[in-house]
Structure 1
Amino acid sequence: MAAPALVALAHGSRDPRSAKTITALVQEVKAMRPDLRVERAYLDRSRPDFQKVVDRLVKAGYDEIVVVPLHLTDVLQTGADVAVAVSSATERHPGLQVRVTAILGLEACFLEVLDERLREALRTSRVRELDALVLAAAGSTDPLANQAVARLARLWGTHHKLPVTAAYASSAPPATGEAVRAFRAEGRRHIAVASLFLSPGFLADRAAELAVEAGAVAVSAPLGAHPEVARTILARYAVGAVELVPV
């Protein structure tokens, strides 16, 4: 009996860099678990569409699918969109079982990825001294999602023994530029920004642009196709696959 298929599900983007990153991340997952059927899919704007991926898996003989939403923070609308997409798929394919796992979330291990990406940015910018950090995320209308980012920022700051502020590209203050200017008003001049985004796109670009305009000395790339992110996808899959086992 084949193991359930894994579908890494992302929101679509018109930015080709985003699709390239998701593809590379899924390839990383496949390399770690070559025994699994692993597919990428999107909810909107990009291909392959989730419904078509499900159709292809059913045609290949899979009747169990584990869906891992590729989101760092909980967004109510996203959860609703995923539920609607899964409901549509199971209605079209009687007998198909689909388990949606928890989102990627904000795992503490992602701080290691942030550090790695930030070190790359600091080397490129030839920066050797820092006196403050900004953790830039997408932002949400859900205050709990923003609080989760703020908690991760505090943990990161404790690790580096530096002041850290969480900033958001949309929906909530402060923006990255505001956060950098606030530190500069305190007399700090060596402020770097880490991009807590999974892949490049409009929000990540905007956050970086505002940070540089405000005087940030370096801005990191998003998390991207990193082994820690791939391992987290597989950890979510493992839980979902167990939940599909009949009791």
Structure 2
Amino acid sequence: AFHAKADIPAVLRDAPPRLRIRQAEVLGPSPLLLSALERRLYEAGLTPADKSSTGVVLASAGSTDPEAIAVIADIAREWRHTGWCAVRPAFASAALPRTQDAVRELRALGCAKVAVAPYVLAPGFLPDRIARGAVDADVLAEVLGPAPEVARVLLERYDAAAARGLLRLTASA
């Protein structure tokens, strides 16, 4: 949220005037990203037969922006309706609960297995914190990284921005 609302717009404002660059919509939420998360969980060892007995921690970086936290909570609620035993949001920083707390909550709910699905694009400090919090989980999925679904979302956002005329790049000699 902070990057999309503050960091990126600041960089774009400082771009050379000869470039007309506009910001496209953020990547999430998207059903494609949920598909990527689910695929990552299966790649980490879950099977479709595990789904109804597995609780999932949707672990994101976290934010001080209440809107961003609400989006993650909404994604978790939506994802729960796809057949998982339960889905709980968790955050590596700036908000609660932490990954380890969500893992404990799912265990207390009686989920036979607990899996952690990092809702982050790349390895780094915060995904490492998510992994440390997943120590008591049965499964820890990889970050989204180069998932084909991520590439599809990028292309969709690009196409939508181009259709709205936001991607007119001009350079003067």
Q: Number of paired residues?
A: 164
Residues 210 and 86 from structure 1, CA distance in 2 versus in 1: closer, same or farther, beyond 3 angstroms? Answer: same
Correspondence for 1:119 among 42, 47, 53: 42
- The answer for the alignment partner of 2:11 in structure 1 is 85
d(CA) in 2 for partners of 1:78, 1:99 = 12
Deviations 1:197-226 (A, max 9, x none): 1111111111111111xx200110011112
1:232 aligns with 2:158: no
Q: Following TM superposition, by how much is the alpha carbon of 1:184 offset from its aligned partner in structure 2, in angstroms?
A: 2.1
Matches within 5 A, 1:9-24: none
Residues 244 and 170 from structure 1, CA distance in 2 versus in 1: closer, same or farther, beyond 3 angstroms? Answer: closer
- The answer for the alignment partner of 1:209 in structure 2 is 132
Q: Following TM superposition, by how much is the alpha carbon of 1:78 offset from its aligned partner in structure 2, in angstroms?
A: 4.6
Task: Report 1 or 2 for greater relative contact order, CA contacts < 8 Å, sequence distance ≥ 6.
Answer: 2
What SS class does the counterpart of residue 97 from structure 2 fall into? coil
1:154 aligns with 2:77: yes
What SS class does the counterpart of residue 99 from structure 1 fall into? coil
d(CA) in 1 for partners of 2:109, 2:12 = 50
Matches within 5 A, 1:32-51: none
CA contact (8 A) 2:56 2:84 kept: no
CA contact (8 A) 1:108 1:152 kept: no
Q: Which amino acid aligns with 1:203?
A: L
How many percent of aligned residue pairs carry the same amino acid?
Answer: 40
Q: Following TM superposition, by how much is the alpha carbon of 1:187 offset from its aligned partner in structure 2, in angstroms?
A: 3.6
CA contact (8 A) 1:149 1:166 kept: yes
CA contact (8 A) 2:79 2:87 kept: yes
What SS class does the counterpart of residue 136 from structure 1 fall into? strand
- The answer for the alignment partner of 1:109 in structure 2 is 32
Q: Following TM superposition, by how much is the alpha carbon of 1:189 offset from its aligned partner in structure 2, in angstroms?
A: 4.3
Which is higher, the Rg of structure 1 or of structure 2? Answer: 1
Q: Where in structure 1 are there 5+ consecutive unaligned residues?
A: 1-73
Q: Which amino acid aligns with 1:171?
A: A
Q: Following TM superposition, by how much is the alpha carbon of 1:99 offset from its aligned partner in structure 2, in angstroms?
A: 1.6
RMSD: 2.1
What SS class does the counterpart of residue 159 from structure 1 fall into? coil
What SS class does the counterpart of residue 115 from structure 2 fall into? strand
Q: Which amino acid aligns with 2:126?
A: L
Residues 131 and 245 from structure 1, CA distance in 2 versus in 1: closer, same or farther, beyond 3 angstroms? Answer: closer
d(CA) in 2 for partners of 1:179, 1:101 = 32
1:138 aligns with 2:64: no
d(CA) in 2 for partners of 1:235, 1:229 = 10
The answer to which structure has the higher strand fraction is: 1
Q: Where in structure 2 are there 5+ consecutive unaligned residues?
A: 169-173
CA contact (8 A) 1:200 1:222 kept: yes
